[in-house]
Amino acid sequence: MHKPHDSAHLHVTGQSEFVDDRIRMQNEVFIEVIYSPHAHAKIKSIDSSRARQLCGVEGIFFGQDFHENLWGTIFRDQPLMATSEVNFAGEVIALVAATSPAIAAQARKLIQVQYEILPAILTIQDAISQESFIAGSRKIERGDVTHALKSSPNQLQNNIIIRGADHFYLESNVAVAYPKEDGQIEIHSSSQHPSEVQHVVSHGLGLPSKNITCIVKRMGGGFGGKESQAAPIAAYAALVAHKLNRPARIVLTKDDDMIMTGKRNPFENTYQVGFDDNGRILALDAQLFSDGGAYADLSTSIMERAMLHSDNAYYIPHMRVVGQVCRTHFHPHTAFRGFGGPKGVAMIEKIIEEIAHALKMDPLDVRKINCYDNHERNTTHYDQKVENNCLPKLFSDLESECQYRRRRKSIDEHNQLAIRTNLSVLKGISLTPVKFGISFTTRFLNQANALVIIHRDGSLQVSTGATEMGQGVNVRIAELLSTELGLPRTQVRMMPTSTDKNANTSPTAASSGTDLNGAAALLAVRRIKSRLSALALKLFEIPESRWARHTAGLGTEAEISVPNSIETNDPNAHADWNSGIASFSDIQFQDGHVFHKDNPQKRISFHSLIVEAYHNRISLSEYSHYKFPGLSFNKLTGKGDAFLYFTQGVACSEVSIDRDTGETKVQRVDIIMDLGRPINEALDLGQVTGGFIQGMGWVTSEKLFYKDGLLLSHAPSTYKIPSIQDTPREFNVRLFNNNENRPNVRGTKAAGEPPLLLCISIWTAIHDAMKHLPNYRQAYPTMELPATNEEILKALYPEKFKRWNTP
């Protein structure tokens, strides 16, 4: 039985400490931000004189106060604070620090900024027409697409418009910075990437990294929104703390956070596809355009993942996908759960639906005929072989378990009756897959390190570069280590992530937090375990009276020496594949005891073994570094192994839509998810259901509304994430039994991002309901994503809404 999240008891009792829960210091100052309300403008003047006269205002700071006022995750193209020109509504131009939050808020209102409004690029199409791009276009191509399209028996071309979404984490961006002795600064940040916080602060203040320590205990949600964009927020706190030599705290309101920070990148994709009369895709030519916002942030990598996932679960012999990031005057868009994957998958799933509609076939049959197999049709368009492919089995299992064919017939009959008798409710059903690549597509990010300490009482402290944002990465790592040593999980304490323990870490992102950091920690524990095993083997041959605990103080016995440690970068080396646990010299670690497998009666407690190791001066701490093996993706050629493995799954969603209101109800969802061999099945099921529901909001209700580039829907009153009433009326989830994911630690698979992409089954199910209408019997329904109530009504009654669609 797997234990719950390690912080569950703290969360439900209100004892969990988040950044803003840190005790306020007597001399602490509080920061408010002043940002532009305009998408594009010159800063003509800033008058802060009235604010400076306010009692309690300790300082007002501008971009010029930074040693280096430029940052960026991939390209350093974004000012920490704008100085002469603003390029998005929400771009910070000043900070005010005061002795209380109320005074800081009052001072913020007194600062007057004069702007000269400039023309703004606020659509992807305008960016294309003005050639406003971030970096160059990218292409991944296989086969002869042009010829294959021309020779295809059937062709269609269309587009898909995918809007953005907000992360809506419960804890807004927050940071507290403490000035320390000799020019040091300690920062507590709600960040998925402590090393980036450290480096941005270092550059911004002109201090060496050795003087900056970033600590992340936990976040109240991240979902990618705190991968890069937490860094400048922390830099604001650090700047004020450094200049005033006082602790400084910045806590964004939900409104400010939503206005200032970037979202999931909007995409507009066009495509041409050729297929045969059986629905098999012969060629696909796709162009992907994303809205990157005003600065690069992570948008080029997001585009790359969208391109790599444009095949999803399907083998396409001739395929060309071209991607271009557009520069607009919106907040710089950023990572979001799934990264670019959902945009590529949404496109190909819409294509599958359109092919099925054109051929009067069931979309599931089109999916199955195009699915990757385990023989010849098993190589992606970027030339990576799909190993451990469970997709055909997942399709057949879910089709049977959810009674897809029977329900399809029933739904078709209901819709025919509804149209004949003018019933308001239409129903739809759709079964879609996901094949999600696990690893960062930038090779050097696929590394991690861990520090493991075993104390003399037999308890462990473990430090890794992984950050805990509620997903349970600490639980998984703790379980990996406790089972390896045969201890209860309560013996392992996962420490706050800190750059003075784990340096140069990668962000906790790309669903790789456990894979990378868990493997590093396991390798460290196995080095200690190998030494302990050698020690135990020798202790079993020595009378206990001569053990070091009795003799070390007197020096009457020679020390026991053991080989220092094993050296391997493979977390599955030395391990039994079925158990995942390594054994050295046939020494077993179980239930708090250590023994030889051939003589289990002769044993020593784990605690006693640790005491003996200490008295024999055998190291009980270890540092280890791990990197994913075998990644060979060449970004210039678009070829090679981009991922360590693929997480796979399928979902069948049934919806009803009300023709009077456009309201969607999700009646039933069935999911089968291949997560290899889960470390903690309960947490993985939580990730599957939570990720799916979050994605459901993206495809149905979460619509961002802007006016002249300024976000209007910046609160829960205007931005609608799913509530308990929106969850599926029937929700069935099971994990697929897969014992063969050999590249990854203990055969597990990542659960963080892949389930979100299964939400596309809801979006396609909505289309499925509408295509029974007379006006869609030939043409496939056209809707943007998300399919909000308004979007559905426009598709139901296009003539009535025509005047609103006119530019």
Average pLDDT over residues 386-405: 98
Averaged over 611-622, what is the pLDDT? 97
- Mean pLDDT for 275-288 is 98
Confidence grade of residue 806 (pLDDT, cut at 50, 70, 90): low
Cα separations (Å) of 457 from 401, 559, 621?
50, 21, 14
What pLDDT does 799 receive?
87
**C-alpha pair distances (Å), 710 with each of 258, 486, 701, 801:** 10, 55, 20, 25
Q: Answer whether 0.95 is exceeded by the pTM.
A: yes
Catalytic residue selected from 91, 349, 468, 753: 753
Res. 342: pLDDT tops 60: yes
Q: What is the mean pLDDT of the chain?
A: 97
**161 strand-pairing partners:** 268
| β-pair type (492-494, 460-464) | parallel
Comparison of pLDDT for 595 and 574, the residue scoring more = 595
Mean pLDDT of all residues in 170-190: 98
CB 462 within 8 A of CB 532: no
Q: Which tens digit of pLDDT belongs to each residue from 60-96?
A: 999 999 999 999 999 999 999 999 999 999 999 999 9
Q: Is the pLDDT of residue 567 over 90?
A: no
804 band by pLDDT with thresholds 50, 70 and 90: confident
pLDDT(197) > 90? yes
Average pLDDT over residues 140-167: 98
| Spacing of C-alpha 538 from chain mean position | 47
Which domains, from first to last, does the chain contain?
Answer: 24-120+181-251 (3.90.1170.50), 267-441+636-803 (3.30.365.10), 447-627 (3.30.365.10)
**What confidence score (pLDDT) does residue 805 get?**
67
Residue 2: predicted pLDDT: 59
Note the pLDDT of residue 3. Answer: 73
Over residues 189-198, the mean pLDDT reads 98
With 0-12 / 13-18 / 19 or more C-beta atoms within 10 angstroms meaning exposed / middle / buried, residue 53 is: exposed
pLDDT score at 216: 98
Q: Is the pLDDT of residue 777 over 70?
A: yes
Mean pLDDT of 289-300: 98
Which residues have a Cβ under 8 Å from the Cβ of 93 and sit 6 or more positions away? 34, 35, 36, 43, 46, 62, 63, 81, 82, 83, 86, 113
In this prediction, residue 565 carries a pLDDT of: 78
pLDDT of 802 above 90: no
Read off the pLDDT of residues 483-493 as tens digits, 9 standing for 90 and up. 999 999 999 99
Quickly count: other Cβ atoms within 10 Å of residue 703's Cβ: 21
- What angle in degrees, to the nearest 10, is found between the helix axes of 789-796 and 760-770? 30
**From CA 491, how far away is CA 494, in angstroms rounded?**
10
Would you state the pLDDT for residue 801?
A: 87
Residue 544: pLDDT above 70?
Answer: yes
- Give me the residue label for tokens 């390798």: 523
Contacts (Cβ under 8 Å, ≥6 apart) of 435: 309, 311, 312, 313, 372, 386, 391, 646, 647, 648
In this structure, the number of other CB atoms found within 10 A of the CB of residue 620 comes to 17
- Indicate if the pLDDT at residue 807 is higher than 60: no
Each residue of 386-415: b (16+ CB within 10 Å) or e?
A: bbbbbbebbbeebbeebebeeebeebeebb
- Give the confidence band of 408 by pLDDT, cuts at 50, 70, 90: very high
Residue 28 among the catalytic residues? no
Average pLDDT over residues 420-446: 97
Tens digit of each residue's pLDDT (9 = 90 or more) over 363-383: 999 999 999 999 999 999 999
* CB burial readout 549-585, b (16+ within 10 A) else e: eeebeeeebeebebeebeeeeebbeebeeeebbbbbe
Q: What is the mean pLDDT of residues 738-754?
A: 97
Distance CA 558, CA 465 (A): 39
Contact status, residue 113 vs residue 50, Cβ threshold 8 Å: no
Indicate the pLDDT class of residue 105, thresholds 50, 70 and 90: very high
What is the percent of the chain with per-residue pLDDT over 70, rounded to a whole number? 99
Residue 4 pLDDT > 90: no
